[in-house]
Amino acid sequence: MEFEPFSYMRHAKRLEYTAGIYMAGSGMPPAKVEDAGFTDDDYALKTLCASYGDPRNVDFIASRYKTSGNNVVLTQGSSEGYFLAFGALLEPGDKVIIETPGYQQFNSLTTFFGCRPVPLKRRFENKWNPDLKEFKRLLDDKTKIVVLTDLHNPTMSKMPPDLLKDMIAAAAKNGTTVIVGEVYKDHLKPGDNDESCFEYGDNVIATSSLTKVYGLSAIRFGWALAPERIAGRMLDVMDMVDPEMPAICQNLAWKALHNLPRMRAIARGIHERHWPIVEEWLKQRDDIEYLKPAGGITVWIHADGLKDTGNLVQVMRNEFGVLVVPGEYFQAPGWFRVGYKNPPGELRDGLSRIGRAIDDYRKTHKSQKIKPGK
Ligand SMILES: Cc1ncc(COP(=O)(O)O)c(C=O)c1O
């Protein structure tokens, strides 16, 4: 089967072993054991039930989102949630509307299942929101899935709830399921429009995990909230790839779930303390476009005159010792994503290196065509 490889993932995995100031990641630094509440007995190879995950975790997620356990599919990260949902819903030849700029996994999965990706633009001028009319025009009888993220990766913009509700309603009329990746949503302040959009319609699948906000990527604990008819089908797909869920991860997740408020406050604190440092740097320059992220630890920026960023990012890495993600991986050459979870001194140093690299690159590579780095 021909499919678009998830080249960003390959790039990201390799980058972690590269020297330099790492400003490429979108996840929080690993959580501290005491913040997550882990104890030695969590590392037992047994859990209450490993097959579809610990039922206590199912119940916890169900009650967190005020839904039934029948709507909860525990997954190994939201990445697996997307895979199960696509596998459950698609037939070869279907259309999948995918936000762009966006997370490349959606294009890879669409092509992997023999389907056609259709881009839905999110534009800077529109605060990175999709246009409702444009969206409605893209819907047709082949459209099985629409995929969005909220908060949006790479821009960390928050979609207005009314717009999302309208899109979900339009998709429902068309018989289309809307999958919304909510893995960054808990970067919002509690109560600040941070509810899951699962409640916006019975054609919604919302995915999330403990990876990004909670710094627990290592335990690969995620979940999908899905209408019962689809949740069952997702388990059919899961049976082909997961004989069981890792018991230790389920045990650790059970503890971590009870400490979400504490860990969430740590993530929000980093955003609130570090964003002013980034903004100060951005304001000193008159050549950079950006929209203030609603939360999180990354900002999406564009420097005047740069149409491609792949080579620039390589220059940043090789000559200036700083690692960021080129927009090419999000279908947006000319832009790049900069992380700001680093300690303040390192963050200031990293930003200054990025600035010097941009200035230097402009001088020397004016009209060169460039491609993403390997
Ligand atoms: C939108 C989005 N969803 C999911 C993931 C991966 O999340 P997880 O670790 O929960 O699989 C990422 C990672 O960058 C992402 O950007």
Is residue 368 a part of any domain in this protein? no
d(CA 185, CA 150): 6
Alpha-carbon span 179 to 82, nearest angstrom: 8
Residue nearest to atom 6 of ligand 1 (CA): 79
User: What are the structure tokens assigned to 374, written together?
Assistant: 């390997």
Q: Which residue of 78, 86, 109 sits with most ligand 1 atoms within 8 Å of its CB, as the best mutation to test the pocket?
A: 78
230 in any annotated domain? yes
pLDDT reported for residue 366: 63
Domain end residue (candidates: 201, 233, 259): 259
Q: Are residues 136 and 250 in the same domain?
A: yes
Give residue-wise pLDDT tens across range 137-187.
999 999 999 999 999 999 999 999 999 999 999 999 999 999 999 999 999
Q: Average pLDDT of the chain?
A: 95
Residue 159 alpha carbon to ligand 1 centre in Å: 18
Are 239 and 268 found together in one domain? no
| pLDDT tens sequence across 204-259 | 999 999 999 999 999 999 999 999 999 999 999 999 999 999 999 999 999 999 99
Measured in degrees and rounded to the nearest 5, phi and psi for residue 98 equal -125, 130
**Cis ω on the peptide bond leading into residue 160 (within 30° of 0)?**
no
The distance from CA 54 to its chain's CA centroid, rounded to whole angstroms, is 25
Task: Output the CA–CA distances (angstroms, integers) from residue 357 to 26, 306, 313, 352, 354, in the order listed.
Answer: 21, 12, 9, 9, 5
Confidence of residue 371 (pLDDT cuts 50, 70, 90): very low
List all residues 6 or more positions away from 271 whose beta carbon is below 8 Å from its beta carbon.
Answer: 187, 293, 295, 296, 297
Q: Are residues 254 and 284 in the same domain?
A: no
Query: What residues pair up with 301 in beta bridges, in sequence order?
Result: 290, 336
Lining residues, ligand 1, CB within 6 Å: 26, 77-79, 103, 149, 153, 181, 183, 209, 211, 217, 222
Tell me if the bond preceding 101 is cis, omega within 30° of 0.
yes
Q: Which two tokens stand for residue 263?
A: 């860990």
Which domain range does residue 269 map to? 7-28+261-359
26, 30, 31, 32: CA torsion to nearest 10? -160
pLDDT 10s digits, 288-309: 999 999 999 999 999 998 888 8
CATH number, position 325: 3.90.1150.10
Give pLDDT, residue 263: 98
How far apart (Å, rounded) are the C-alpha atoms in residues 84 and 156? 25
